[in-house]
Amino acid sequence: MGRSNPTMSAAGLRIEGLSFSYGPRQALSDVSFAVERGRFCALLGPNGAGKSTLFALLTRLITTPCGLIHVAGHDLRQVPRSALASMGVVFQQPTLDMDLSVRRNLSYFAALHGLSARQAGSRIDAALERLSIADRAGERVRDLNGGHRRRTEIARALIPAPDVLLLDEPTVGLDAAARASITAHVHDLCDDGGLSVLWATHLVDEVRPEDQLVVLHQGRVLANDTAGTVAGQRPLAERFLALTAAA
């Protein structure tokens, strides 16, 4: 079955028994899984599966008394500041200032996090190098293509030196080459930097066989293992359709 059961392992991100309702509609029901340090976890589900609700709970945009969320060992309900400080987030909708340069966007973000100019400078340089956009640092975001804008947002999320990186449908609107490049860069962050990554997507081609895969559908976890194990002898797209159709 590949690696040991992810829900029982020491984790950068651990979710247990998480449920949430919008009035009578159950958006999440008893969701439990964990992402180990240095692991890339794809949260795969069709539109309406509950991925955005889960991300809203992870970032405390909404709260629930049902379930536990631990980020780098910090209980999000009990010590929210410590938990959120351990997390970097890339939302589905772009949030960069289009008229500022790449570096100015990142510098502004670093200042909001209370970093000194020296700390900010070194972390910005490191983040830009890791995302291979150091040569674009002086360009306005408006002048970048979609792939480089996304890399800038990921670089920005790395500035606080998070233990956990959340990305909500980060490749929406990008062409196939840009999507592949962004996915590869984030995998490298796991391999080289030890980040725990939760990558929400509805696209099976963004998932590698060795990735942890959590299939979410109608608010429930249908599978949690390596993608290769979940797929078995079938293409992952075919297995994913079979799982969601059966549910």
103-159 pLDDT tens trace: 999 999 999 999 999 999 999 999 999 899 999 999 999 999 999 999 999 999 999
The mean pLDDT value for 8-33 works out to: 89
- Kindly report the number of other CB atoms within 10 A of residue 117's CB atom: 10
Number of domains in the chain: 2
pLDDT confidence of residue 148: 95
pLDDT confidence of residue 77: 95
Q: How many angstroms separate the CA atoms of 136 and 147, rounded?
A: 12
Number of Cα atoms under 13 Å in the Cβ half of residue 22:
11
* Residue 6, phi then psi, degrees to nearest 5: -60, -30
**pTM recorded for the entire structure:** 0.90
How large a percentage of the chain has pLDDT more than 90? 87
| One domain, residues 225 and 108 | no
The mean pLDDT value for 199-225 works out to: 96
pLDDT confidence of residue 94: 86
Q: Is residue 137 part of a domain?
A: yes
- Those residues whose C-beta lies under 8 Å from the C-beta of residue 46, and which sit 6 or more positions away, are 202, 217, 244
pLDDT tens readout for residues 152-206: 999 999 999 999 999 999 998 888 999 999 999 999 999 886 899 999 999 999 9
pLDDT confidence of residue 10: 53
| One domain, residues 62 and 102 | no
pLDDT confidence of residue 6: 38
pLDDT at residue 3 tops 50? no
| One domain, residues 6 and 108 | no
| One domain, residues 221 and 169 | yes
pLDDT averaged over every residue in the chain: 92
| One domain, residues 1 and 74 | yes
The mean pLDDT value for 30-37 works out to: 96
**Among the residues of 159-235, which ranges form H helices?**
176-193, 227-231
pLDDT confidence of residue 107: 96
